[in-house]
Structure 1
Amino acid sequence: MSYKSDRPSFQERLDHFVNVIRTEIINGIRQEGTYLPAESALAKQFQLSNKSIRKGLEQLVEEGLIQKIDRVGSMVTPRPKEAITLNFGCPISLTTDFRIDELITEFGRRNPGIHVRRITLNHLSYAQSAQEMIANGLLDVVAFNSPQFQEWTEEGLLSLLEGMESDPDIYPIAEEAFRADGISYAKPVSFSPVVLCYNKKHFRDAGLHEPDSYWTWGDLTAAAAKLSKSRGRHGIYFLPASENRYPVFLLQGMGGRFKGMSGDRLNEDIRDGLRTLNELIASRETFPNYWAQGNDETVQLFAEGQVSMILCTYFNLNEFAHLPLDYDICPLPSLQRGDSQRTLLLSIGMSLVRHSKWKEAARRFVDFLASEDAQNVIRDRTVSIPARKASAERPLMDGLKRPSRYSMFREMFPSFSYHRDLGLQIKDLRQFTKWLKEYWSDMIDEETLYRKLEELYRSGQRPGDPSTPTGEYMLP
């Protein structure tokens, strides 16, 4: 990415070469039986020496993706004629979230008769894209994050997926995201809470103590002001309209129970959460007037030192794994001292398409991604949190830049909430996001914003409907 301003290390360039060739082979861009370019051409393309290219090719040989033919070159390994091809729909982010292409390669090495083709689904209309491809028999396995699965459930599409057995070795709260009517419809692979990420050097230079679990949003605002004054840069940023960020202020207003309405009126605690959000992003001295295209741009601003604090997930931390960045993480602040420090949890799971032609092979692939071996790869080679408890809590391997507080998630479980705990359907949450943007643009006033949210809650499904709880709801 562009914010990796330092010259990439040798290992990063070598990994990039291997990843590109591996991905092109997996996705059929380089077809079986064809030859890779000459080593000298690859060396020029990837800015590596011939010796380094040979080292990368040796790794691809070990993975079974290519064969070295003496005096001819490197040939993409032909698959057995009886090979099964599984179509796996997922977002492109999985390539960094937990190195999905490496896991696909390892699965293929262990199962030479099964080929997995990764298909990138449109993240802007993910549920619709997955539904259309399943209807046309074009997917065997599909990845969901927790809000995508919530939308899938609300659209009444669960009949397209196969129920799965619960796994006692997976963190229960990660599995809970994909359960409906007592049935699990996906195997969790990884999860992450939204946390506060901060630049330790900026805090030292400003003479500030690092944030901790005692912080309120008021403490954060005060620290952001001092950081901005000390550095001449903004202190805090996150994408205001991100539906994986701003809902934490609603969740914290709700506390330990969901109470959306008091009679016909929006609860005052939820109003307090929204006021805190609006006051934070309205401070131009500490919060930049910058509309990022996505959370990746937020990560970029932080990596470049443009801001000192961001709201992010463990998935985002993978972008810092090879950067000389002195950073750490801590739980999100609370609205008031002693209040709930609720945060949003995002889980990623793998679902089996019910009418897959290759259901048993697809099940084998899903089981592999949740297996100890695959989960250990996620633990050792990424900063993401494996869903399997034994893997997540095993000793860390050297080589990656991880925050010193990496393991704090183990103490945060009581604070985790999913999008569904907002008491809104995903389509309603998107509507509220639009109204928030109208409010921030001075198109509607504060009371109108609250009134519109009240209307969403009043028009929502009543208690007893498991897909969208309203009234009073116990958080997990």
Structure 2
Amino acid sequence: MNEESDKLSFQEKLDRMVHSLRSEIINGIRKPGAFLPSESALAKQFKISNKTVRKGLELLVEEELIVKIDRVGSMVSKEQKPIIVNFGCNPSLSEDIVMDQLLEEFHRLHPAIHVRAIPLDFFEHVTSAGEMLSSGMLDVVSFNNWQFQEMCETGTGFPLLEPLESDDGIYRVASEAFRHEGQLYARVVSFSPVVLCYNKEHFQEAKLQEPDSSWTWDDLLDTARKLTKYSGRHSIYFVPAALNRYPIFLLHSGLMESAEGVAVNSLDELDGNTGRKRNNAPGLAYSLRKLSDIVNDHTIFPKYFSGSSEDDSISLFMQERVSIILTTYFSLNAFKERSLSYDISPVPLMNRGGEQKTLLVSIGVAVNRRSKEKEAARTFAEFLASPAAQAIIREKTISIPSRKMIAEEAATEDINRPSRYSMYRELFPSFMYHNQLGLSIHSMKQFSSSLKEFWSDIIDEKELYAKLESYYSDNK
């Protein structure tokens, strides 16, 4: 450490002292009214001159963190002006990770810092965050993995994110989505695979076996039709063109396994009777046809395309108007206070004996590297991934904490969790992110629109595959 200190420049040594003292004051290590070490002691500790120490202390005086008392020394301010940290976030975090309770706990632990939560529009999140980071209106920002991917691809706001060190206590797979060219830029707070959620009572009433890890999409279709025949209600719903839903079928198609993509409109490779490729690989045409089989069967799947929000499927499920939905652990929080009999299982396989694959959705927080309150911003971002905050998420929500030690502890809070809550631990090999599909987020949004056109009979199947092939060509 002494050798490292000797190599630092004058400015680096000054910054190190100021940063260290500021951090200790902000984090409550040095209490209001306490005196700092003498100038000579600080000079010895940080290997700088007394003159440099005085310059650093003057900076802390300007920040109103300390006051200098003649012939006595430097005292931590008794009445500190609160440090304001602006936090741009998705409003759903209030339910996803009980953000209101996390803020309350943070303010209790760090009374000198006040975090101001600023809601960002989900669909314009990247644009809004980029503009507000650039203007200095945000010190900390949250985003999910595909929003981060979009930031990297477009450069919107990404250059302003502060690089972070890895935290070995956090699930590695949950952090990988927030790396760019090997560097980590966000601290993961929570994550979730996309899973199947079903109403247990509906299955029991119809005397049908509940879903398990061996289910294929054909099994789901067959069971959905039996559920509908028994009850007369629609049996399954999800927002089919959503960025966290339809890509699951692309994952199963094997597209990402080829650096060149595949000839996605080569329908002549398919067996006319089964719709499968002759080499028995699922193939794009087969996987997307399976998605269409579900979406277009309006005896089991409601004609409900007006909405594009996850809330649509959750609302229908809570009203018991559908029996099965595709969802995430985050959305299960809508059930935590309800007497709803439900459980979860993995996303179905494309064919018997096929490989299990599902999308992973991670929520991360990043610091604006140009923030005027960077130390306080960093303190808040690290708090959200700390054991104290993660324990609140584990106890008060159904969301999965990012910190492994906390996530795998037994929860004591009595809320309506699925009996298969711990299922995610067995699914790690199946987790995949949007950036593994070989498509940009812009292309995925375009293809989402193309799917809607296809299901509305505006374009045909060959046109749909031609569009997807063009999107892959654009991303080579």
> TM class by shorter-chain length?
0.7 to 0.9
Correspondence for 1:6: none
Take 2:170 and 2:453, find their aligned partners in 1: how far apart are those partners?
41
Correspondence for 1:283: 297
| 1:329 matched to 2:340 | no
Matches within 5 A, 1:65-214: 81-156=80-155, 157-214=157-214
Matches within 5 A, 1:222-301: 222-254=222-254, 257=257, 261-262=261-262, 269-291=283-305, 292-301=307-316
Take 2:198 and 2:147, find their aligned partners in 1: how far apart are those partners?
29
Q: CA deviation at 1:380?
A: 0.6
Q: CA deviation at 1:89?
A: 0.2
Asked whether the 8 Å contact 1:256–1:340 carries over to 2, the reply is: no
1:380 is paired with a residue whose SS is helix
Correspondence for 1:221: 221
**What are the superposed Cα offsets for residues 119-174 of structure 1, whole Å, 9 maximum, x if unpaired?**
00111111110011111110000001001000000012422100000000100011
**What are the superposed Cα offsets for residues 310-336 of structure 1, whole Å, 9 maximum, x if unpaired?**
000000000000111000000010110
Correspondence for 1:434: 449
Asked whether the 8 Å contact 2:145–2:363 carries over to 1, the reply is: yes
1:124 is paired with a residue whose SS is coil
Take 2:133 and 2:470, find their aligned partners in 1: how far apart are those partners?
35
| 1:308 matched to 2:323 | yes
Higher mean C-alpha displacement, 284-293 vs 91-100: 284-293
1:177 is paired with a residue whose SS is helix
Take 2:255 and 2:453, find their aligned partners in 1: how far apart are those partners?
27
Asked whether the 8 Å contact 1:193–1:343 carries over to 2, the reply is: yes
Q: CA deviation at 1:259?
A: 5.9
**What are the superposed Cα offsets for residues 197-230 of structure 1, whole Å, 9 maximum, x if unpaired?**
0000000000101010010000000000000011
Higher mean C-alpha displacement, 219-228 vs 293-302: 293-302
Q: CA deviation at 1:256?
A: 8.1
Amino acid at match of 1:352: V
Amino acid at match of 1:122: D
Correspondence for 2:400: 385
**TM-score, normalising length: structure 2:** 0.78
Higher mean C-alpha displacement, 198-207 vs 234-243: 234-243
Matches within 5 A, 1:319-358: 319-358=334-373
Asked whether the 8 Å contact 2:88–2:138 carries over to 1, the reply is: yes
Take 1:106 and 1:447, find their aligned partners in 2: how far apart are those partners?
55
Asked whether the 8 Å contact 1:260–1:423 carries over to 2, the reply is: no
Asked whether the 8 Å contact 1:255–1:340 carries over to 2, the reply is: no
Amino acid at match of 1:429: M
Correspondence for 1:399: 414
Asked whether the 8 Å contact 2:263–2:469 carries over to 1, the reply is: no
Take 1:373 and 1:80, find their aligned partners in 2: how far apart are those partners?
27
Correspondence for 2:426: 411
| 1:455 matched to 2:474 | no
Provide the aligned C-alpha RMSD in A: 1.6
Q: CA deviation at 1:398?
A: 3.3
Higher mean C-alpha displacement, 294-303 vs 254-263: 254-263
Larger Rg: 2
Q: 1:434 to 1:322 in 2, by over 3 A?
A: same
Amino acid at match of 2:133: I
Correspondence for 1:371: 386
Q: 1:382 to 1:266 in 2, by over 3 A?
A: farther
Amino acid at match of 2:218: G
Asked whether the 8 Å contact 1:90–1:120 carries over to 2, the reply is: yes
Asked whether the 8 Å contact 1:191–1:348 carries over to 2, the reply is: yes
Fraction of identical pairs, as percent:
50
Q: CA deviation at 1:257?
A: 3.1
Amino acid at match of 1:415: S
1:103 is paired with a residue whose SS is helix
Asked whether the 8 Å contact 2:144–2:361 carries over to 1, the reply is: yes
Structure 1: any 5+ residue segments left out of the alignment?
1-78, 463-476
Amino acid at match of 2:299: E
Take 2:260 and 2:406, find their aligned partners in 1: how far apart are those partners?
38
**What are the superposed Cα offsets for residues 38-81 of structure 1, whole Å, 9 maximum, x if unpaired?**
xxxxxxxxxxxxxxxxxxxxxxxxxxxxxxxxxxxxxxxxx955
1:261 is paired with a residue whose SS is coil
Q: CA deviation at 1:399?
A: 1.2
Correspondence for 2:58: none
Take 2:285 and 2:404, find their aligned partners in 1: how far apart are those partners?
37
Matches within 5 A, 1:21-36: none
Amino acid at match of 1:250: L
2:243 is paired with a residue whose SS is coil
Amino acid at match of 1:278: S
1:428 is paired with a residue whose SS is helix
Q: CA deviation at 1:422?
A: 1.3
**What are the superposed Cα offsets for residues 428-449 of structure 1, whole Å, 9 maximum, x if unpaired?**
1011011111001000000110
Q: CA deviation at 1:235?
A: 1.0
